[in-house]
Chains A and B, each alone.
Chain A
Amino acid sequence: MAERGLVASNRMTASSRPMYILASLVIAACLLAYGLALNGPLFFDDVPNLLDNNLVQIDGAALDGWRVAALSSDAGLFYRPVAMLTFALNHVVSGEFTAVSLKATNLVIHLLLGALLYFFAGALLQAPALRALRLSTHEGQLVAAIGASLWLLHPIHVSTVLYAVQRMTQLSALGTLAGLLVYTRYRLRWAAVGAGPGEVLGAAIWLVLLGVFAALSKENGALLPWLIAVVEVTLFRGTWRGRSRRQLVALGWIALLLPLLAVLTIAMFSPETLSARFGGREFTLQERLFTQGRVLWQYLGWLLLPNVLDMGFFQDDVALSRGILAPVTTLLALLAWAVVIGACLVWHKRYPLLAFAFLFYLVAHSMESTVLPLEMVFEHRNYLPSMGFAVLAGAGILRSVASIQRLRLRAVLGGILGILAVLLVVRTNAWSDEMTLAKFEVINHPQSARANFFYGNALFKRLRKAEALGLGEEDQRALAVSSRRYFEHMHRIDERDFAALVMLYMLDTMYFPGLAEKNDWLATMEELAETRRLQTSDRTALAALVRFSTTPTGDLGRARVGALLDYLIARNPRRTDLMVGKFRLLKDRDDASRESLRASLEQSAQLNHNSGQAAASLADFYQSDDLASTYEAVREWLRRDRYRRELLVIREIFDQ
């Protein structure tokens, strides 16, 4: 008996060894590849969420500091407190935000997700619908390990792992995947032996908890129940205590189709609920949906053939689908999706893993790639959706190797993973510093306005540090010219973006007085202000314009910038950041300006009932010379700050 046990144990060890080797190699490759870029740039949304967010930069000594840090992001519906808490922890441990600590934490989460995916895939492959695959336990583990390895090494995830703020996506995926693992584990047991109400209740509570964790990291976590429905319909099919139960099958289908029906009902009976939210975008709901039809195929293409030259952080050069035939690929893409969905629904019993992978991909994309007025393309949106295909690919590789006798699994796997690792290194290397990344982006996406801005701005930042870098006059001149060229190119690509205009105005005023006389960039901005729907990038650029106008060099245009802001405020009275801009521009001016500013601030505070920012500006305005009004403004600020997110800032006013 004991001897038999020993033999079994040895066999287990022998069969597990390749798995350990594979896991070690993949982890080492990840550490090596991502390790190259841990010191890379913090940029884009990292700035408002982390670098410019004083509330998350805590020392950890006060409990309320943690609460405030958790609620300090303006992103999402629930402020993503779980993710923000981890950022606060980074700050407490390092004493400041360093790229290395932030990105290393992301890398650890990435590896953790890889491990979870392995366990999830392993459990999934034991589902009743996949018995036809006849995978042994060892083969199942192997498929899971291959799937997890493919996912871990895929270069598409670079812009999630190395983009610090996308920890939100990672943690949301972590909670969702843990929820799916819990469900699958319980479900396997129930499929075999059933369960009592206590066990079902226990599982349900775990799922709710993990769903809450995921949703409080990023709202995508709310998709957990829908993804569970995908798992149920495609892989478990209502199996309970060895038999398929009709009620459970029906329940699975209802859970899968209900969200879809809900959205369709809203679209039919109250389309304005969805379309009205696109007021701030330069595209409509229909254009977004049409474009996403193509974008989802593009993502899939990147997953299957990871062309790192096509991938990139900035994808704003994607062509908008203005109609079903403009471009014609829109129609083809939508038709192809209709066929895929139809096939999944009809043949889900015949090809359960394929149906699972496609439905999982679509459902996991349903929040960010459908009706919400978000930007068009981001690679990080594939972080969770790609997992289904990773498992499918794992099974595919194993089956292919088994059916073609001459193929050796190690060679095939080594080849595929090796290629992925090389591509991963190529991408992470590009992310190793701001200048390299900016150059990489603008070379791969020359028609991306943002890529041009990013590179132009990187050069401009270098120019501003010229003295510290010891650059000569010639070098400075070359940098200025080069930087201007990219901003000008950006302006040619997108004439309606304030960012290019602001940068050109600043550059010409500072370095090219001749061009400044020739080009009246402020006039172009004034003209644009009449029709432009302000985007986040515009507002950031306008804030930079205000900062520049308060410097001695920019002072000349200060009055016109003030007038431009007045015009934009009149068009966008609820944009408190514009009001804050005006406040910064005029707060140290003469009495007449102050009176006008006071009137504007009061109007803004009245209009924006829920904005603490408007009340905060008023409080700042009144401080020191009108204590009664300061108290009133602070009282209003406190009242509007429903979740007391700015309590510690308010407190500081009284501590002074």
Chain B
Amino acid sequence: MIAQAPVLANRDVAGTLAVLLLALLVLLGGAWAYWPGISGPDLLDDRSSVLVIGDLHNRPELAFDYVFGDKSGLLGRPVSMASFVIEKLYLDEGISGGKKINIILHVLNGSLVIWLFWLLFRFLDVPGYRPLAVLLGAIWLLHPLLVSTVLYLVQRMTMLSTFFMLLASISYVYWRLGLIAGTASILWLLPVPVFFVIALFAKENAIVLVPTLLLLEVLWLQCVGRDGKVIKWLQGVSYGLIATGSIALLSVLLFKWDYLAARLHRRPFTLAERLLTEARIVWDYVGQLLRPQVARMGLYHDDVVLSRGLLEPVSTLYSVLAWLLLILGCGVLLRWQGGRWIVFGIAWFVLGHSVESTVLPLELYFEHRNYFPAIGLVLALGGLFAILVKRWPEPKAPLLVCLGLCVVVLSAQTSSQVQIWSSRSLLLLNHLNGHPKSARANIDMASELARLGEIEAAHHYSAMAFEASANEASTQERSGDYEIRNLALSCVANQPVAPEMIDNLGRKNPNRPLSSVTTLLTMVRLLQDNTCPQFDRLGFADRMAELFLVGNFEHKASAKIYSNLAVLENALQRYDKAYAYAERFLALSPNNKRGLLMKLHFATALGKVDAADEAIAALQHMDEQGKLTVGEQQTLTIYLEK
């Protein structure tokens, strides 16, 4: 026995090295699978959050504006924005460079997932925990559902948040293992809140780290201390915090229901409808994680059917019942030690979804919402393996091979999905095939065809998008928005536009002709850039003036529509009209910095000294309060110098 010990130790070292080599191969495989995706396109929020970052080489002083100026989340996500800014300063390879960084970050996350799994399964003393951790990590790393996070540039926010959450979890586990071994050090515990705060400033979802760590403690580590004894104070604190948090959440739901419901007033669904629909959607995520159907994966899920009631559609009832059954099942599983491991994995998944898939007024379906939660389902799978192998060690090797096969199949699916995401045309065709009723997919196709000069086909898809927008889960598009999109498509295709197309704009809903800020903004930018010289820009602007420069402007459109129209008139150098739009913009959005700057600009151009002074005074007051960004300060200075 004594003589064998060094041999075993050597074998252990060799085994560990072999598994580490496997881990390295897995991580390289992840990068290999994803790398073709760097040639993919920019998408949706990339334009509003990332591509807006201007030339920082010549104006580096604006860096802080971008870092702290994002409006995406409650906390502004400065950590994520800082990563985009740093990238712009030091890499500046455009979309492709951004995607490279996302891929590297994903691989890093993969290594952290493996590390965390390694620690967790070693703690359980599962036979073969090392290859198990690597293979489970590989399943997560190479899962095709994560492609739309990794290759969607702006979702670096989700990835960074996950990165710091994983670091916090690993630190916590190390501290706990130290506590068990009697070597606990505060140096392991201190990084936990630090990483947590950084994660929060990367994306707010990181808030779920707190309940996740509490459940990790009570379900996985089970408050075990030295010699297997329960650490009473830790148990008390953990259960206490869980109970307090649960009561607080329930109270919010019960007593603040109206407040939460009111926040969805801009959405085409109520809070109850959102919750019912999410009950189905989260099951769909589970299905996509367990048996991926890549054909319908992608960015656009605006064709999802809304649950209007428990029986509408009936799958809502089944989903809700399935959730109840799952809760019941978890309750039963909690009776066994092994069962608690599985429950923890499920809880991780559910908690991970609790921010974006419950009461907040967000869109209904996005695959990137699974980036962090998916780790939980993989962990549950590992829990199942642990139960089985701890009872019967013999199937360990073939089960590990099965997991390896899963990795191969998933990586094949991921590599094909990456190919799809590596080409704008392929991606839009895939979106359209997977979601023929998605308004966004149809608009994308229309834009692509317009770019190719195929205006008839482009208008056909534009009409399809208009019809698709009647879907319950999205807002019915206004005719005016649809008409402006068609004008924009004609402009992109550089095709002539019949004058009546402009004259008829907004006739169907004269009270509120337009609602899509994005569509109008696209049109305005095209005209601003003079993309289609043949287009009757003045005729269009005049028609807009007929519609919006009226007395009851407050109900005609939102503030941003007026802001866009001001930009249009500015491009046409019709400053009086631009000024009028800026006034309306400010009337609907008082003290808006952009509105004030516009007013200042147009008033100066028109020689309206009083109005200009009024705007300057308001802006200086804001500056004193520290509300102006560096860029805004610089713009104001130019006018002050004049």
Contacts and interface: CB of A to CB of B under 8 A. Distances in A.
Interface of A: 62-64, 66-67, 70, 196-199, 201-202, 205-206, 209, 212, 627-628, 631-632, 634-635, 638-639, 642, 644, 647-648, 650-651, 654-655
Given A202-B397, A628-B457, 17 more contacts: A63-B415, A64-B418, A67-B415, A201-B392, A202-B395, A627-B449, A631-B445, A635-B429, A638-B429, A639-B433, A642-B295, A644-B416, A647-B416, A647-B426, A650-B426, A651-B423, A654-B425
B454 A651 contact: no
B97 interface: no
B614 interface: no
B631 interface: no
A648 B36 CA distance: 12
B452 to A, nearest CB: 5
7 pairs of A and B residues whose beta carbons are closest in the complex:
A198-B392, A628-B457, A205-B398, A202-B394, A628-B454, A202-B395, A198-B394
Contacts of A651: 419, 422-423, 426
B599 to A, nearest CB: 45
Instruction: Determine the main DSSP class of B at the interface with A.
Output: helix
A64 B36 CA distance: 9
B412 interface: yes
B316 interface: no
A638 B433 CA distance: 8
Contacts of B456: 628
B29 interface: yes
A64 B432 contact: no
Given A62-B36, A644-B416, A627 B432 contact: no
A627 B36 contact: no
A64 B419 contact: yes
A296 B397 CA distance: 40
Taking each of A199, A212, A632, A639, which has the highest tally of chain B beta carbons within 10 Å of its own beta carbon? A639
B420 interface: yes
Interface string B434-462: 00000000000100110011101100000
A651 B420 CA distance: 8
26 contacts: A63-B32, A63-B415, A67-B412, A67-B415, A70-B412, A198-B391, A198-B393, A198-B395, A201-B392, A201-B395, A202-B394, A205-B399, A205-B402, A209-B405, A627-B454, A628-B449, A628-B454, A631-B445, A631-B448, A631-B457, A644-B294, A644-B416, A647-B420, A648-B419, A650-B426, A651-B419
Contact of B429 (A209, A627, A631): A631
Contact of A638 (B29, B391, B426): B426
B453 A627 contact: yes
Contact of B401 (A199, A201, A209, A642): A209
B149 interface: no
Contacts of A212: 405
B411 interface: yes
A209 B408 CA distance: 14
B36 to A, nearest CB: 6
Taking each of A63, A201, A205, A650, which has the highest tally of chain B beta carbons within 10 Å of its own beta carbon? A63
B33 interface: yes
A627 B32 CA distance: 33
A62 B432 CA distance: 26
Nearest to B457: A628
B430 interface: yes
Contacts of A209: 398, 401-402, 405
Interface in B380-415: 391-399, 401-402, 405, 411-412, 415
Contacts of A634: 429
Contacts of A650: 426
A197 B392 contact: yes
Contact of B411 (A63, A628, A635): A63
A305 to B, nearest CB: 43
A627 B448 CA distance: 11
Nearest to A195: B394
Contacts of A63: 29, 32-33, 411, 415
Contact of A64 (B392, B416, B445, B454): B416
A467 to B, nearest CB: 44
Nearest to B430: A638
B394 A199 contact: yes
Contacts of A198: 391-395
A140 B101 CA distance: 62
A635 B432 contact: yes
Contacts of B454: 627-628, 631
A176 B69 CA distance: 64
Nearest to B445: A631
Nearest to B395: A202
Given A62-B36, A638-B433, A628 B452 contact: yes
A655 B419 CA distance: 12
Interface in B1-49: 29, 32-33, 36
A63 B413 CA distance: 11
A565 B435 CA distance: 38
A197 B395 CA distance: 10
Contacts of A627: 449, 452-454
A628 B451 CA distance: 11
Nearest to B32: A63
Contacts of B448: 631
A546 B420 CA distance: 35
Nearest to B36: A62
A62 B31 CA distance: 11
A654 B418 CA distance: 15
A74 B456 CA distance: 38
Contacts of B393: 198
Contacts of B445: 631
Contacts of B453: 627
Contacts of B452: 627-628, 631
A62 B33 CA distance: 8
A647 B422 CA distance: 12
A647 B423 CA distance: 11
A67 B396 CA distance: 28
Contacts of B425: 631, 654
A180 B125 CA distance: 34
Nearest to A636: B433
A627 B455 CA distance: 11
B38 to A, nearest CB: 13
A209 B29 CA distance: 23
A634 B433 CA distance: 11
A639 B434 CA distance: 8
A67 B32 CA distance: 13
